[in-house]
A and B are shown apart, each in its own frame.
Chain A
C-alpha cells in the first residue's frame, strides 16, 4: 500500500542550529501539506502546496521556517535557527489534486526535540 514517507523519524538538536525534514508524498498526489503538532494538541497547518506552488503559508513563521517543493513531488521543511518552542511532531500529508473528497494521508511524522 502506498505511503507518505518522512525522514528523519527523530531529530534532536540544540537551539540556534538548523534542521531539515523531508517528505515524499504518495505517487500522483499533487497536494502536499506540512503540519506541526505540539504534544497533547491537534495538528496545525504550516504550509500547503499544490504541485510546486504554495497555496497557503499564512501560519508558517517565515522568519525561521521555509518550505519548498521544487519539482512538485517531494518536499523539504527547514527551520533555521531552531528555538526551544519548535519542539513538536512535524507531519506531512498528501491528497489527490482537485479532488474535494479531500481525503488526506499522513506520514509517520518527524519528532523534533530542541535542547
Chain B
C-alpha cells in the first residue's frame, strides 16, 4: 500500500525566504505526482503536476522536482510572500488514477 509522508508538518518563515517542502512515497510505481495548495476551510487547488517521466515542473515562483527512484519530491517556493501561507499537499497517482495524499505541510509566511 502506497504511503506518502510530508516533512515538515509545519513551517514558519519570514517573508522573502526561499523554502523547500519535502514529500516522500514508498512505492515508486507511480504515474505522476501532484502538488496542491489548500487554504483554511477551502478545497484543494492544483499547483503543479509532474509526469513520471519528468524531473521537474515550474510555475512562477514554484518549482517541483521528482526523483521516482528514491521516492521523493520537493516543492521549492522562491521569495515567499504572506499570501503563500496555506497548507501544501502532495499526492501520488498510481494505477487506475488512484491518488494517495500526504498529511500536508502548514506554511506560515510572516510579513
**Residue ranges of A at the interface with B (Cβ–Cβ < 8 Å):** 4, 6, 31, 33, 40-45, 48, 55-56, 89, 91, 93, 95, 100-109, 111
Contacts and interface: CB of A to CB of B under 8 A. Distances in A.
Interface residues on B, range: 20 to 34
28 contacts: A6-B43, A42-B91, A42-B101, A42-B102, A43-B44, A56-B98, A89-B41, A91-B43, A91-B44, A93-B44, A93-B99, A100-B31, A100-B93, A100-B97, A101-B31, A102-B31, A102-B34, A102-B97, A103-B32, A103-B49, A104-B34, A104-B93, A106-B43, A106-B44, A106-B45, A108-B42, A108-B43, A109-B43
B41 A111 contact: yes
A42 B104 contact: yes
Contact of A41 (B31, B42, B46, B103): B103
B46 A105 contact: yes
B108 to A, nearest CB: 15
Interface of B: 4, 6, 31-32, 34, 36, 41-46, 49, 51, 89, 91, 93, 96-104
SS of B interface (majority): strand
Contacts of B4: 42
A111 B42 CA distance: 9
User: Lowest 5 CB-CB distances: which A-B pairs, in order?
Assistant: A42-B101, A102-B93, A106-B44, A108-B43, A106-B43
Given A43-B44, A93-B44, A102-B49, 5 more contacts: A45-B100, A93-B99, A102-B32, A107-B43, A108-B42
A103 to B, nearest CB: 5
A15 B40 CA distance: 25
B15 to A, nearest CB: 25
Given A42-B104, A45-B99, A48-B97, A104 B46 contact: yes
Contacts of A111: 41
